[in-house]
């Protein structure tokens, strides 16, 4: 593990950044640190499981080997990491954790989601939208990565939906729509963000946009899953589509008078 010689060094910067969202990157003072793939797995797991015991780490990293061999592999990996001055970990008895100087992007996402959940808006909407935009360690298929990836994905979706709901309640429709569309892009088949988009358009008085958004989602759901939107989503448009549906049913009855017939000169006796 060594600093990339092609990148300019900043001797005054001591902060270490560990990026796991969008891919593994370790930066020391803005300078990329080259880490072998095997040690990347060790550092990433330690970051995601702070304070985990050696036995727990070894079992997750080498699940198909005996406990004794897994612990031996972990001891070797930790020894290799400690040989480098850029080592981002600390050991405390039987537990291993990141060094306090390391800033983990996953922690930033969790903190942002917590602030939103507690009713405190992030510094800017852009901060919340950017947080967790990329998947955790794409291309990694360890069981512990898959579980954590899904947990963070759900965390971000709920955060964006809450932000959209909060802005909608406050009448900030532009910000609400931005957050809802970001959640929709993250999971196109999830109904909640589509429902929010419909509600936002209705709150702005844009009936056409609301109906259009509903039918775009309905067509997508039918095409991909052969399902209909939930009754709760359909009910959002009852007031808007109710008169249209009633008029359509009325014009289909024998002897019914259409709007065009009622307005014709012959009907008015002229």
Residue whose entry in the numeric block shows the structure tokens 């360890």: 142
H or E element in which residue 98 lies? strand 95-98
Alpha helices, DSSP H, located in 118-190: 125-130, 143-169, 173-186
pTM of the model: 0.82
Measure the CA angle with vertex 262, ends 258 and 263; round to 5°: 115
Instruction: Tell whether the model's pLDDT for residue 258 goes beyond 60.
Output: no
How confident is residue 267, by pLDDT bands cut at 50, 70 and 90?
Answer: very low
* Collapsed DSSP state (helix, strand, coil) of residue 90: strand
What is the mean predicted confidence (pLDDT) over 150-175?
A: 95
Backbone angles phi, psi at 167, to 5 degrees: -65, -35
Per-residue 3-state assignment (H helix, E strand, C coil) for 19-54: ECECCCEEEECCEEEECCHHHHHHHHHHHHCCCEEH
- pLDDT (tens digit per residue) in 191-217: 999 999 999 999 999 999 999 999 999
In the chain, % helix, strand, coil (3-state, to 5) comes to 55, 10, 35
Number of alpha carbons in the 13 Å side-chain half-sphere of residue 234: 7
Residue whose entry in the numeric block shows the structure tokens 């959209």: 164
DSSP 136: B
Backbone angles phi, psi at 111, to 5 degrees: -65, -40
Q: What residue ranges define each of the domains in the chain, with the CATH number in brackets?
A: 16-101 (1.10.10.10)
How confident is residue 71, by pLDDT bands cut at 50, 70 and 90?
Answer: very high
Average confidence score pLDDT of the chain = 86
For residues 199 and 204, what is the distance between their CA atoms, to the nearest angstrom?
Answer: 9
For residues 129 and 161, what is the distance between their CA atoms, to the nearest angstrom?
Answer: 11
> For position 253, what pLDDT does the model report?
58
Higher pLDDT, 52 or 126: 52
Of 116, 115, 36, 49, the closest CA to residue 76 belongs to 36
- Widest CA span of the chain, in angstroms? 100
How confident is residue 1, by pLDDT bands cut at 50, 70 and 90?
Answer: low
Neighbours of 238 (CB within 10 A): 9
- pLDDT (tens digit per residue) in 4-21: 444 444 444 478 999 999
What is the mean predicted confidence (pLDDT) over 233-255?
A: 73
How confident is residue 245, by pLDDT bands cut at 50, 70 and 90?
Answer: low
> For position 127, what pLDDT does the model report?
81
Q: How many residues does the chain have?
A: 270
Residue whose entry in the numeric block shows the structure tokens 């800033």: 103
Of 180, 132, 179, the closest CA to residue 156 belongs to 132
* Collapsed DSSP state (helix, strand, coil) of residue 186: helix
> For position 247, what pLDDT does the model report?
64
């Amino acid at each position: 593990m060594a600093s990339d010689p092609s990148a300019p060094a900043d001797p005054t910067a001591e902060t270490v950044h560990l990026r796991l969202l969008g891919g593994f990157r370790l930066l020391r003072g803005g300078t990329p640190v080259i880490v072998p793939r095997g040690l990347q797995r060790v550092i990433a797991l330690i970051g995601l499981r702070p304070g985990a015991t050696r036995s727990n780490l070894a079992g997750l990293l080498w699940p198909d080997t005996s406990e004794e061999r897994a612990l031996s592999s972990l001891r070797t990996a930790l020894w290799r990491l400690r040989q480098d001055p850029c080592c981002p970990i600390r050991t405390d008895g039987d537990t291993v954790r990141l060094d306090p100087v390391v800033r983990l992007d996953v922690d930033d996402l969790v903190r942002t989601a917590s602030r939103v959940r507690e009713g405190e808006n992030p510094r800017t909407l852009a901060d919340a939208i950017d947080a967790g935009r990329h998947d955790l360690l794409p291309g990694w298929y360890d069981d512990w990565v898959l579980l954590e990836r899904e947990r963070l994905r759900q965390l971000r979706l709920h955060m964006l939906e809450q932000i959209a709901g909060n802005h909608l309640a406050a009448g900030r429709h532009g910000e609400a729509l931005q957050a809802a569309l970001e959640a929709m892009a993250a999971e196109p088949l999830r109904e909640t963000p589509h429902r929010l988009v419909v509600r936002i358009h209705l709150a702005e008085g844009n009936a056409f946009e609301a109906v259009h958004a509903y039918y775009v989602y309905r067509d997508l759901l039918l095409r991909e899953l052969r399902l209909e939107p939930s009754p709760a989503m359909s009910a959002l448009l009852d007031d808007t589509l109710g008169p249209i549906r009633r008029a359509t049913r009325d014009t289909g009855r024998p002897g019914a008078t259409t709007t065009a017939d009622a307005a014709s000169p012959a009907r008015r006796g002229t």
